Amino acid sequence: MAITVNSPYEVDGTDLIVTEEALQFVEELHARFATTRADLLKKRAVAQEEAAQTGTMDFPAETAQVRSGDWVVAEQPESLADRRVEITGPPVPAKMAINALNSGAKVWLACLEDALSPSWRNLIDGQKNLYEAARGTLAFTSAEGKEYSLREDVPLPVVVVRPRGWHLPEKNIAVDGERAIGALVDFGLHFFHNAKVLSEKGTGPFYYLPKLEHYLEARLWNDIFTFAEERLGIAHGTVRATVLIETIPAAFQMDEILYELRDHASGLNAGRWDYLFSIIKYFRASGSDFVLPDRAQVSMTQPFMRSYTELLVKTCHRRGAFAMGGMAAFIPNRREPEVTARAIEKVRDDKSREAQDGFDGSWVAHPDLVELCSEEFSKELGDKANQIDRQRDDVDVSAEDLLNIGAAQGDVTEHGVRMNLYVAVYYTAVWLSGNGAVAIHNLMEDAATAEISRSQVWQQIHNGTVTADTEVPITTELVEKLLGEEVDRLREEINDPEAFGKYFEPAADIVKELVLTTDSYEDYLTTPAYEILR
């Protein structure tokens, strides 16, 4: 096997991160695991087709014994015992990484996935910042002269790194002439450089695993962890992983996923945004019962979403694992107190409900939300670090409950279609400019939320959904017209012809192709966008 770096861009820090030894490790991961990954991706396509045809799904028959068996995951490490508040964000730019580490959260989810645009620069900068964070040396001075350094007065959050999902390639590295696998590059570089340092401190290496669609994908990660630990001489079970249950098939395999990873498992997380995206994707062509209301109306209290979170808490606690809550999208604005007040109220409600339901902690997207999340969980936890001992034997969730999507309350409106188009174009443009997360109308938008937006429109056209406000069917002609109007609106608001031409116009082209090509469906918005990402 031969591994080569073929990026046309020179980025400071490349010499530190892309060393010969680190590349060799990434190559070894590909040699051992690339074929299994390819097979599992094919399996995803078959499962999707079956769901679309049948309009249903069930708990796997072959793993009934795993679900009924009496087993628990390995004992949790001390450094991850208290996860009541986790701040998420990309590890770039450095000031953002430092702000996350100084935020007072217990954990920083350093995101190389939903919140990162995976340009070569971001990949190197992100790995470099994680390298320095692991060694406590991360510091930064902004162009305005503001100095950023790590706090010394309080323990810093434990870092949990989220590599890319299995589907994404890394175009700047080739293995035997083929694009490398994004997940193996992200994990491989981070693990190679930091696993020893972190394990000696007892604070890692820890990972969040995104977008799994089958328990065999968890087995693959477990095999990778076992190999990586052996290869670097680190004790088996040092790696800990929290798996995002953010696809509809994974919701039917929570026990199985924990079981596969039982030596390396920390917990499961309710990744609500990708979960909604996955429901739309799997059942996009299964009829109007699967058409959700406008995105803004699909709250966590909709019955099918509650079933999902209740089952997650029950499963985790039965298996001695953490149940982690998800992301409320409301973002405070330091310049607009009324926006902040609303965000605080909404996020507090969300965290309070999660804490009462039995979650052990949850996510926030902004440093100004850390304290309220901590407060809401502390009310439930008292003097305990977590509530894993709280069994939810009262919960009984069936396949029908998880799939009770048609019962969702709310409407599809033309306003909602417009918002989806606006957000999909705006987010894609920001992603192409190198930022993977952005506040739009005071809501956090990232790859997962943008996927919902563009997929809803595709599904509404496919099903000829009729809008509740204007009472017209959603057709390709209507969407083309609305898209044109929303792009015009963005052009006016952005008021920067150069940026508009460079990022928004290509973004609008991508979104147009994705939503109007109704005889086929692109699995990920970021797949075509990655082809033109610089």
Q: Does 110 bind ligand LL5AMS7Z (CB under 6 A)?
A: no
Q: Which of 84, 162, 272, 284 is catalytic?
A: 162
Q: Peptide bond preceding 337: is omega within 30 degrees of 0, i.e. cis?
A: no
Q: Which of 114, 392, 446, 454 is catalytic?
A: 446
Per the listing, tokens 């994680």 go with 130
Site for ligand ACO in 106-135 (CB under 6 A): 111, 114-115
What is the sign of the dihedral through the CA atoms of 405, 214, 116 and 454? negative
Site for Mg ion in 97-116 (CB under 5 A): 114
∠ CA 131-135-137, rounded to 5°: 90
Q: Please pick, from the candidates 334, 389, 498, 520, the single residue that binds ligand ACO as defined by CB under 6 A.
A: 334
Per the listing, tokens 């009310």 go with 379
To Mg ion, the closest distance from the beta carbon of 114 in angstroms equals: 4
Q: Please pick, from the candidates 86, 246, 350, 486, the single residue that binds ligand LL5AMS7Z as defined by CB under 6 A.
A: 246
Query: Measuring CA to CA, which residue among 319, 306, 221 is closest to residue 270?
Result: 306
To ligand ACO, the closest distance from the beta carbon of 98 in angstroms equals: 8
Q: Which amino acid is at 381?
A: L
Q: Please pick, from the candidates 234, 448, 457, 525, the single residue that binds Mg ion as defined by CB under 5 A.
A: 448
* DSSP-assigned states of every residue in 343-408: HHHHHHHHHHHHHHHT-SBEEESSGGGHHHHHHHHHHHHTT-S--TT---TT----HHHHT-GGG-
Q: Please pick, from the candidates 274, 310, 354, 451, the single residue that binds Mg ion as defined by CB under 5 A.
A: 274
Site for ligand LL5AMS7Z in 435-454 (CB under 6 A): 448
Say which entry of ligand LL5AMS7Z, Mg ion, ligand ACO, none residue 42 contacts (CB below 5 to 8 A, set by partner kind). none
Q: Does 403 bind ligand LL5AMS7Z (CB under 6 A)?
A: no
Q: Does 93 bind ligand LL5AMS7Z (CB under 6 A)?
A: no
Contact yes or no for 14/128 (Cβ under 8 A): no
- Minimum CB distance to Mg ion smaller for 88 or for 340: 88
Query: Measuring CA to CA, which residue among 459, 417, 448 is closest to residue 283?
Result: 459
Q: Does 421 bind ligand ACO (CB under 6 A)?
A: no
- How far is it, in rounded angstroms, from Cα 280 to Cα 292? 8
DSSP label at 121?
A: H
Stretch that binds ligand ACO, among 83-91, 300-308, 312-320, 470-478 (CB under 6 A): 83-91
Total residues contacting ligand LL5AMS7Z by CB under 6 A comes to 10
Site for ligand LL5AMS7Z in 254-273 (CB under 6 A): 271-273
> Dihedral (C-alpha) 113, 115, 118, 124: value to the nearest 10 degrees?
-90
DSSP label at 80?
A: G
What is the sign of the dihedral through the CA atoms of 44, 315, 393 and 82? negative
Task: Provide the 3-class DSSP secondary structure of residue 452.
Answer: helix
Q: Does 306 qualify as catalytic in the annotation?
A: no
Total residues contacting ligand ACO by CB under 6 A comes to 23
Q: Which amino acid is at 2?
A: A
Query: Measuring CA to CA, which residue among 29, 57, 128 is closest to residue 400?
Result: 57
Q: Does 162 qualify as catalytic in the annotation?
A: yes
- Site for ligand LL5AMS7Z, rule CB under 6 A: 114, 244, 246, 271-274, 326-327, 448
Can you give the binding site for Mg ion, defined by CB under 5 A?
114, 246, 271, 274, 448
| Residue ranges binding ligand ACO (CB under 6 A) | 87-89, 95-96, 99-100, 111, 114-115, 273, 327, 331, 334, 365-367, 437-439, 444, 446, 448
Catalytic site positions: 162, 446
